[in-house]
Amino acid sequence: MSKMKELQKLGQSIWLDYISRDLIQSGGLQDLVDRGLMGVTSNPAIFEKALSEGHAYDSQLTNLAEQKTEAIDAYEALAIRDIQQATDILRPVYDATDGVDGYVSLEVNPHLAYETNDTIAEAERLYAAVDRPNVMIKVPATEHGLVAIERLIGQGININVTLMFSMAHYDAVAMAYIKGLEALKANGGDLPKVASVASFFVSRVDAKLDPILDELGAKHLKGKIAIANSKQVYKRFEKLFSGERWEALANAGARVQRPLWASTSTKDPSYPDTLYVDNLIGPHTVNTLPPDTLDAFADHGTIERTVDADMAAADKAVAELTDYKINLLEVGEELQREGVEKFNKPFDALLQTITHQIKQVM
């Protein structure tokens, strides 16, 4: 039995943080699904990488070039076809799990991160264009994005909330989901048909804090805060998705919004390459892994419930940050702002790549 299937027994689903037409057409994605892969996530950087490698997109690019398609529209046409093909491959997973898994995520234009109405309009358009029940639209957890998330959930659109780094982000996202479901219920919507994940970024927290901890003489906290931060979020998840308010929705068929651990490849080569996988395993969670991390976990990952193990140590590590005048909520805000920019840059590079490739095939 593959390790991905072993994790399913512990309640965790593994998704792949990568997509390309080569992977789809070669049968590589189907092979991963056969081994236990339960979903796929994508972002502009992933699409840019896929487009810059190989020739799988040449035929469609030629057609788009002949139609004099603008780069932004060409990107959407290319991405939507990939997402549709991937969702079709994962549809049996979606059906077998009754809509718990089998999703493929497509991100709204990251330049809309601070534009509520434009985010809503783009999410609605992309959701309709893909036209698959197992697509999730990725929306960032910015202040403006939170309003969009609540409204989109209220319309019954599956949402993958991205760019979360702090407990404050998590609380706001979970409440946006719950409020969206309450609106959907009030309007007679079909709650069991709606799914959402809360993508909480892990390794970037350590990458941000480790140099600071080094300078402050707190080396004993290096490599520990990201996991501790995530474990605290998991405990909050258990609290928020219980109790009278949640039960009213659950009784109407609502699904919990599962925490999805994102950014789980190690940035520091001195850390174990499965650090952010081994230590966040537990029920009702998803971990989305880039190919290299997925391979590493398949080779030597640990199969054990760890997401709520040794919570006292996690709480102590986070609390100790105050001794060094580090505010984790402020760090989260900074990381989110940086994250928006990190998504904008590859998106712009992606459009440049498409423009260049359209010229080449003309």
Residue 103 β-bridge partners: 39
SS3 272: coil
- Following DSSP, what letter does each residue of 282-319 receive, concatenated? -TTEEEEE-HHHHHHHHHH---S--TTTTHHHHHHHHH
Q: Which of 49, 68, 138, 231 is catalytic?
A: 138
- Residue of 328, 208, 229, 336 lying closest to 280 (CA atoms): 229
| Among 200, 193, 199, 154, CA closest to 177 | 154
H or E element in which residue 204 lies = helix 203-215
* Three-point CA angle 349, 355, 361, nearest 5°: 135
* Cβ atoms within 10 Å, residue 46: 22
Tell me which residue of 170, 148, 158, 172 sits closest to 255, measured CA to CA. Answer: 158
| Cα dihedral 111, 116, 122, 126 sign | positive
Q: Measured in whole angstroms, how far is the alpha carbon of residue 160 from the centre of its chain?
A: 6
| Known catalytic residue at 138 | yes
Task: Evaluate whether 36 touches 297 at the Cβ level (below 8 Å).
Answer: no
Q: Is the Cβ–Cβ distance between 142 and 113 less than 8 Å?
A: yes
CA distances from 52 to 56, 227, 343 (A): 10, 34, 17
Per the DSSP assignment, residues forming a β-bridge with 140 are 162
- What is the phi/psi pair of residue 305, to 5°? -70, 120
Distance CA 70, CA 49 (A): 20
Residues involved in catalysis? 138
